[in-house]
Structure 1
Amino acid sequence: MTYAEFLQSKQCKVVSSGFEKPRENMNQHMFDWQKDIAYWALKKGRAALFEDCGLGKTLQQLEWAQSVCDYTERPVLIVAPLAVAEQTRHEGEKFGYQVSVCRTQNDVLDGINITNYEMLSHFDASKFTGVVLDESSILKNFTSKTRTQIIEMFRDTPYKLSCTATPSPNDYMELGNQAEFLGVMSRTEMLATYFIHDGSNTSKWRLKGHAEDRFWSWVAEWAVVLTSPADLGYSGEGYNLPQLNTVEHLVEPGTKSMDGNLTLFTKTAQTLSERREARRNSLDERCEEAAEIVKTDAGQWLVWCDLNDESSKLKTLIPGAVEIRGSDTPQDKADRLRGFTDGSIRVLVTKPSIAGFGLNWQGCHNMIFVGLSDSYEMMYQAIRRCYRFGQVNTVNVHIVTSTAEGAVRENIERKERQRADMTAEMVRHTKEILRKEIRGTTRDVIEYNPQVEMKIPAWLIA
């Protein structure tokens, strides 16, 4: 073996384990680029779709799931956030798929089945030939019980599809969890192969300088990273979103300091616990400001809060507001979310952790964050419920904070820059590889534009 052959043998390769389905046999409602991605994902057998909000992941995952059902003649399970199951069933009907919403294994039928992450313990993974994770960013926390349950439960499932708008915006480690779920490589192996501890801080990892291109080449073998069809050389027409207006409203908190004593001057919170305390001290002022903002527009409003006390007060202050709390029954949550979707509810008050993932609310273009948590992903996903493909109006995002919460806004903006940088890096490194993988090699044809009329000789005509 030559040294070049030795190096070649050490490269990580993802072996395709799927099957091919002709594009002409796929759902007629799919765009050509969506068919190409579905074809690629089916051929891979185990793949991830990191596509931005509004690019039609639901249609692609339904086509993938139906194709696996037809090929294996066994059922497929889609796992989704609360209330997304009913929305997916409705989308399935629109595009010609039959989707069964299930709460336990006894509800499972032949074909496509869907349940919520909260109900996953009531199912037997061995009964399914394929699994789809909708909003798979649930895997981001490598220490979470849900992440471990999902990976272990579907370890032997032959066909897997992972779908999310973006992996974690400020941490590459989620990619390791995604790869481990798909059976491509364990998170530990990924870290050992491509990453190194960042100095003396052993909890921080960074890409090895010489391994950066190799790492992204490896990711491109099992994941599509897409912010627009134009990233892969398709037409991006129709995917330019309308304007997004972000308006910040600052309120003065009450006269008590963070330690409960009266004070003349507002102290800016620095630590996480201080920010939480500052948020509580300004609760009344922020809720009253939010209620006044809602009065400025008679259309639908999404009011995002972070505390139960905020939710209760907002419901009291805003006429006709409907509240969704974590303690509500799954059925009550689903009914209220459906009511906001169909327009029968004008103002919805809830938390991003409850309704910030997977739902399509292009009919609404006004929202308020009554304070900010430190989770950038929550805010990003919450905004994308309305700011997505199909939105025709300018989306107005109001952020109500107190003057004592200065560090929160800076933290969110820092994470936004990190997300943008990471996404751009992922697209830059993977788009050329994915163009070849997904679109294949095409032949350039130079159009012939004749300038002189051709005359056929008489003897040739004869």
Structure 2
Amino acid sequence: MTAPSYADFLRSKTKIAPRLGFDVSHRAFHPRLKDHQRAICQWAVRGGRRAIFSRFGLGKTGMQLETLRETLEHLDETAVGLIVLPYGVRLEFVKEAALLGIEVRFIRSAAEIDPAACRIYLTNYETVRDGRLDPALFQVVSLDEASVLRSYGSKTYQTFLQLFDAVPLRFVATATPSPNRLKELIHYAGFLGVMDTGQALTRFFQRDSERANNLTLYPHKEREFWLWVNTWAVFLQKPSDLGFSDEGYDLPPLDVRFHEIATEIFDGSFERDGQGRLLREEGNDLQAAAREKRSSLAERIATAAAIVAAAPADHFILWHDLEDERRAIEKAVPGVRSVFGSQDLDEREGIVSDFAEGRLQHIAAKPVMLGSGANLQHHCHRAVFTGISPKFNDWFQAVHRILRFGQTYAVRIDIVHTDQERGTMRILMEKWTQHEEMMETMSAIIREFGLEQLNMASEMQRAIGIERQEAAGDGWRVANNDCVEETRAMPDASVDLIVTSIPFANHYEYTPSYNDFGHTDDNAHFWAQMDFLTPELFRVLEPGRIAAIHVKDRILFGNVTGYGRPSVSPFHAEALFHFIRHGFVFCGMITVDTDVVFENNGTYRLSYSEMLKDGSKMGVGSPEYVLLFFKPQTDRSKGYADVRIAKDREDYPLARWQIDAHAHWRSSGDRFLTVEDLSRLRTDVLARVFPKETQKRVYDYREHVQVAQALQDRDALPTTFMAVAPGSTDPDIWHDVTRMRTLNGEQAAKGREKHICPLQFDIVDRLIERYSMKGETVFDPFGGLFTVPNRAIQLGRRGVAVELNDGYYRDGLRLLRDQERRLAVPTLFQLLDAAMPAEAAE
């Protein structure tokens, strides 16, 4: 079998959702369904794992029922399906199923399943969450209004979705995937089995290396992200998005009115340190919002009751968030009925049914109880929010219980809030705008491509390839290109040393191109792309010479792995065996210490507070490594490279060799500093002095802790860097690498986007000086800002590098030319030597 070419490998990176369902005609669906509904059902059944995000009133209930019914027609007669529902919509599903001629049953346990009598079952989320019904008993499952899972909390949300891994065919249906939480879409993709959650987050979202969980969608990946989403989800705003008539689908006018309640400017509250507040805090955070709700409860409920009393003929929904608000509403509004969590399910659904059918005039509920799925627009066009919450999804869903297709009256929404809640109100309105923008983005893609994935796959492949650029100067040459293609064009044995920091698999993406090594699914996929590069690196390296590969292990988060706690992917070990597999010989590993406190600020995996709860969660800081390999020399009867790295005794004395090879210098003369001496130093001075002190003496762990404790006792222990890092006595553990000495610093100083993973000068300099001679060529296939050629020319070598990112290429090129100009300017002594007559010099 012929191995795939590099071009084939790049094309295979295009990801579209697989088709796992059955080809059916649109005529297979009930004639009650509208044209757009039949088209979506046909698409969903064919895909087998799909998400339907349709606007309120577009018939999501009927589409789910028909999708499950038709899917089950193609399975064994013992196969059964399940629709998982939020509270308040069971009767609506039962009613819609009757109109479609589908038998459904609501169940709470496996004992109620009987495939001979019924094949489609309904249950609530809580039944599955609490373990009373195993999803693995079903062959087809649909989650209705899955966005309600967010109210369970992030951890339960993610673990809930994993409960369905054994179900072959899965669907999701909801109207409001949150606009400010695109990761929700990623979790749906994970539930559907379209793409692993961690893989999708890495592929489309950029990480903040200084702050964990701060993920934002790559600007250059935005269109690709939405194209990918549209291969497994349909966002439908109106039937015309799919080319059908919008007749009968006109939203009513919306009238939103705000009722602001004035509060006391000063409420007598105090800061943590006991200092009084001059002004009340604006209630944006949860604690401040809760205080605001409690202090203004009476005024807000009175205002809401007055709004209801002013329209005695209208039906009203009164939305609230607190139980105290519910009890106050029941006292203030005559005839109101409430639904709440401790009620019997049948009683609750009876109240909802009475209101939906017009038999009850006023109903009160929390959005989390009644705000998802229920159609309440037939007899009601008025709603009052007796308070506001920063939870956009709950608020937005509540609005659309009555603002939906099929509503025949203008909808009026009254929002009661205090002057201290203006910030929360502003955030809700901003999120509303973001939601409309997101939906329009998806609608535009649907209008462009329809429900056909092949067109989107072609569009997504346009990011393959790059227009090559090259620049050269005195002692350097760099190219803007794919490093595989560029290295293939280099002559055999043309470089004397390889120094590079390879991408850490799919941890970062540096460009929108599929050529990017970071644009891979996982470690195995990354090494598959490296399989095209590493043989070329082996070929271009002079026999017997060194390839120094900088790597770092990867932190894996518990919510991705399922372990519930962070773990470490031994990426350096994978790199080691990868290079050995391609002919390189491993000859050593250098360890570069990193700041554990700084690392924890970026990963939260070594949290002190978590360690206090359970010490078994504590790992250790993750150092960086430089793996040293050599390409076997031609004459293996001798241990020398084909071209030896000859050292001069004057330039490279015995003393330096001892330090480079194994030994370390010790102090003689100065006394050791005591714990008291060290603890009195400023932390910035201590950070420099302490490693040196630990090298002078026999290391004492307890004394080390005492120094840190003394700093903590006087509130001087930093939380942003490690002030008392131990020094190393091993020459292959480099504790003194200056982390800020990178070309990244110059890049940031000039206002440009910082390179994500800059390589420190200290590492590069030591490797170049140790493993090459002046005039030789040092190569970096992942050039970044061209640190390696920059340092190479400064140390009297030639530098060659490749970089795919056009922005990094241009910034690195500028820095290289700046360095070239600096090297070309003679020093004072060089000028004096040049000006001095030859006789005088003698």
Report the TM-score, using the length of structure 1 for normalisation.
Answer: 0.89
* Corresponding residue number in structure 2 for 1:46: 49
Distance change (3 Å), C-alpha of 1:220 and 1:376: same
* Corresponding residue number in structure 2 for 1:317: 332
Cα offset, 1:439, TM superposition = 12
* Corresponding residue number in structure 2 for 1:67: 70
Distance change (3 Å), C-alpha of 1:148 and 1:255: closer
* Corresponding residue number in structure 2 for 1:382: 398
Asked if 1:275 corresponds to 2:283, the answer is no
Asked if 1:330 corresponds to 2:345, the answer is yes
Residue in structure 2 matching 1:137, options 123, 139, 147: 147
Contact conserved, 1:220 with 1:434, CA < 8 A, in 2?
no
Asked if 1:159 corresponds to 2:162, the answer is no
In the alignment, the residues of structure 1 paired with residue 233 and residue 251 of structure 2 have an alpha-carbon distance, to the nearest angstrom, of: 24
Q: Which moves more between the two structures, 383-392 or 340-349?
A: 340-349
* Corresponding residue number in structure 1 for 2:549: none
Cα offset, 1:430, TM superposition = 4.4
SS at match of 2:423: helix
Residue in structure 2 matching 1:85, options 83, 90, 94: 90
Residue in structure 1 matching 2:388, options 355, 360, 372: 372
Residue in structure 2 matching 1:230, options 234, 240, 247: 240
Cα offset, 1:223, TM superposition = 0.6
* Corresponding residue number in structure 2 for 1:339: 354
In the alignment, the residues of structure 1 paired with residue 186 and residue 88 of structure 2 have an alpha-carbon distance, to the nearest angstrom, of: 28
Letter in 1 for 2:371: G
Q: Which moves more between the two structures, 123-132 or 76-85?
A: 123-132
SS at match of 2:114: coil
Q: Which moves more between the two structures, 386-395 or 228-237?
A: 228-237
Distance change (3 Å), C-alpha of 1:271 and 1:149: closer
Distance change (3 Å), C-alpha of 1:74 and 1:279: same
Q: Which moves more between the two structures, 375-384 or 151-160?
A: 151-160
Q: How does 1:287-326 map to 2 (within 5 A)?
A: 287-297=301-311, 298-326=313-341
In the alignment, the residues of structure 2 paired with residue 337 and residue 225 of structure 1 have an alpha-carbon distance, to the nearest angstrom, of: 28
Could you tell me which runs of 5 or more consecutive residues in structure 1 were left unpaired when the two chains were aligned: 441-462
SS at match of 1:398: strand
Identical-residue share of aligned pairs (%): 33
Contact conserved, 2:105 with 2:122, CA < 8 A, in 1?
yes
Deviations 1:239-260 (A, max 9, x none): 1201010011112347971639
Could you tell me which runs of 5 or more consecutive residues in structure 2 were left unpaired when the two chains were aligned: 271-275, 457-842
Letter in 2 for 1:408: T
Deviations 1:23-48 (A, max 9, x none): 11210101111111101100001100
In the alignment, the residues of structure 2 paired with residue 398 and residue 199 of structure 1 have an alpha-carbon distance, to the nearest angstrom, of: 44
* Corresponding residue number in structure 1 for 2:126: 118
Cα offset, 1:384, TM superposition = 0.6
Deviations 1:433-453 (A, max 9, x none): 33435999xxxxxxxxxxxxx
Letter in 2 for 1:206: T
In the alignment, the residues of structure 2 paired with residue 144 and residue 269 of structure 1 have an alpha-carbon distance, to the nearest angstrom, of: 23
In the alignment, the residues of structure 2 paired with residue 431 and residue 192 of structure 1 have an alpha-carbon distance, to the nearest angstrom, of: 28
* Corresponding residue number in structure 2 for 1:18: 21
Report the TM-score, using the length of structure 2 for normalisation.
Answer: 0.50
SS at match of 2:324: helix
* Corresponding residue number in structure 1 for 2:691: none
Q: What stretches of structure 1 move > 4 A for 4+ residues in a row?
A: 139-143, 262-268, 437-440
SS at match of 1:122: coil
Contact conserved, 1:47 with 1:161, CA < 8 A, in 2?
yes
Distance change (3 Å), C-alpha of 1:254 and 1:322: farther
* Corresponding residue number in structure 1 for 2:32: 29
Distance change (3 Å), C-alpha of 1:142 and 1:11: farther
SS at match of 2:190: helix
In the alignment, the residues of structure 1 paired with residue 277 and residue 329 of structure 2 have an alpha-carbon distance, to the nearest angstrom, of: 27
* Corresponding residue number in structure 1 for 2:648: none
Contact conserved, 2:151 with 2:368, CA < 8 A, in 1?
no
Contact conserved, 1:255 with 1:263, CA < 8 A, in 2?
no
Contact conserved, 1:100 with 1:114, CA < 8 A, in 2?
yes
Distance change (3 Å), C-alpha of 1:180 and 1:141: farther
Distance change (3 Å), C-alpha of 1:271 and 1:65: closer
* Corresponding residue number in structure 2 for 1:448: none
Distance change (3 Å), C-alpha of 1:271 and 1:42: closer
In the alignment, the residues of structure 2 paired with residue 136 and residue 78 of structure 1 have an alpha-carbon distance, to the nearest angstrom, of: 11
Distance change (3 Å), C-alpha of 1:236 and 1:284: same
Contact conserved, 2:107 with 2:122, CA < 8 A, in 1?
yes
* Corresponding residue number in structure 1 for 2:779: none
Cα offset, 1:93, TM superposition = 0.8
Letter in 1 for 2:30: N
SS at match of 2:57: coil
Q: How does 1:103-252 map to 2 (within 5 A)?
A: 103-110=108-115, 111-120=119-128, 121-140=131-150, 144-198=154-208, 200-252=210-262
Contact conserved, 1:142 with 1:148, CA < 8 A, in 2?
no
SS at match of 1:401: strand
Distance change (3 Å), C-alpha of 1:238 and 1:335: same
Contact conserved, 2:86 with 2:148, CA < 8 A, in 1?
no
Letter in 2 for 1:112: I
Q: How does 1:399-414 map to 2 (within 5 A)?
A: 399-414=415-430
In the alignment, the residues of structure 2 paired with residue 90 and residue 213 of structure 1 have an alpha-carbon distance, to the nearest angstrom, of: 40
In the alignment, the residues of structure 1 paired with residue 63 and residue 360 of structure 2 have an alpha-carbon distance, to the nearest angstrom, of: 30
Distance change (3 Å), C-alpha of 1:291 and 1:200: same
Aligned length: 439
* Corresponding residue number in structure 2 for 1:351: 366
Which of 1 and 2 has higher RCO (CA within 8 Å, sep 6+)?
1
SS at match of 2:452: helix
Deviations 1:128-156 (A, max 9, x none): 11001000114558963543443222102
Cα offset, 1:263, TM superposition = 11
Distance change (3 Å), C-alpha of 1:206 and 1:114: same
Q: Which moves more between the two structures, 279-288 or 189-198?
A: 189-198
In the alignment, the residues of structure 2 paired with residue 265 and residue 145 of structure 1 have an alpha-carbon distance, to the nearest angstrom, of: 37
Q: Which moves more between the two structures, 156-165 or 103-112?
A: 103-112
Distance change (3 Å), C-alpha of 1:439 and 1:101: farther
Cα offset, 1:359, TM superposition = 0.2
* Corresponding residue number in structure 2 for 1:55: 58
